[in-house]
A = this chain, B = another copy of it.
Amino acid sequence: MKTIAVLTSGGDSPGMNAAIRAVVRVGIRSGLKVVGIERGYCGLIDGTFKEMTFASVAGITEKGGTILRTSRCGEFYTPEGRAKAAEQLKKAKIDGLVVIGGEGSLTGAKILHEEYGIPIVGIPGTIDNDIAETDMCVGVDTCLNTVVDAIQKLKDTATSHERAFIVEVMGRESGYIALMAAIATGAEAAVIPEIPIDYDKLAARLLEERKRGKINCIIVVAEGAGGAINVAKNLQDKIGYETRISILGHIQRGGSPSAFDRLLATRMGAEAVKALLDGEKCVMIGLKMGKMVRVSLEKVIGRKKELDLSLYDLALILS
């Protein structure tokens, strides 16, 4: 193994830069040439490659987003696209590829490996925390801090106006962010895709809490659970008091990464290079029991990380 490449793909998540930096620096220190591929699989197909140096990743750990940029690349999901990608890798004499991204991106990497044999190591980077075989994905912790901070701000104004706020957070198929943010902020309820919501029961509980003297109310909704507007429509008439909607949107993706995400990403990036050097062919780096592990991508793709639903009950008990 003489040359490896690294790319970021799909939605960006905070910490991706720390992972890139670790891949580059550990790669160089291990005697490898490291190539950065811009704009994810689109850049792989187009051959927008540049050699990375120690200096080209200086000071990037603290930056949100990804200096390599990213994209959702339709062409790569066609056989023709992947053929072009493989051609580019061959032309640039790249012996191994590190892919940082969510499940879609890792699936693409696996197919590329299966079709063209190129050794692949994936790093789970997504704020959804929905990837199997790792306790945490790069970006989740920062995202959660951003969401908690935003909800705390909404609580100020909710309390001052004695209102309910319906807050929509990211999570198309996973209620992880919504549920964890609800517990961390002491929200009155979480509405998540994993558990159907009984609006009559919820409204009854909220009304009772208001009678007991609670003057604010925060309900956290995962976008995949119908969205805030929908939840508000279903609740408004039943509870009677003022309701406001807040859709946090893309601010959840940005921001300087937390210490946790910097560390996680750095360790995963370093381990990814070691995995390639050790001859791994198609694995993802995961975090388990505080340690780096290598898991076959076979075991990751097509499965979903399950949400610990006992936490849903805990959220109810605590509010």
Interface set of A (CB-CB < 8 Å, partner B): 8, 12, 14, 16, 21-22, 25-26, 29, 39, 55, 58-59, 61-66, 69-71, 135, 141, 144-148, 150, 152-157, 159-162, 165, 180-181, 183-186, 213, 215, 244-251, 253-256, 258-260, 262-263, 266-267, 270, 288-291, 308, 311, 314, 317-318
Contact = CB atoms under 8 A, between A and B. Distances in A.
Given A65-B160, A266-B184, A26 B318 contact: yes
Given A69-B160, A135-B289, A162-B69, A186 B253 contact: no
Contact of A185 (B62, B162, B247, B311): B62
Given A154-B251, A157-B12, A247-B247, A266 B183 contact: yes
Q: How many chain copies does the complex carry?
A: 4
Contact of A255 (B156, B183, B266): B156
A313 B59 CA distance: 20
B64 A251 contact: no
Contacts of A148: 258-259, 262
Nearest to A68: B160
A156 B64 contact: yes
B318 A155 contact: no
Contact of A152 (B184, B254, B289): B254
14 contacts: A12-B157, A25-B318, A26-B318, A58-B186, A61-B185, A62-B152, A145-B259, A145-B260, A148-B258, A150-B251, A184-B259, A185-B262, A258-B258, A270-B314
Q: Which 8 A-B pairs have the closest CB atoms?
A: A153-B254, A64-B156, A65-B156, A156-B254, A65-B160, A12-B160, A184-B262, A144-B259
Given A12-B156, A153-B255, A161-B12, A250 B246 contact: yes
Given A12-B160, A156-B254, A260 B141 contact: yes
B26 A317 contact: yes
Contact of A156 (B253, B259, B262): B253
Given A154-B250, A157-B250, 4 more contacts: A141-B258, A145-B258, A246-B250, A267-B314
A181 B259 contact: yes
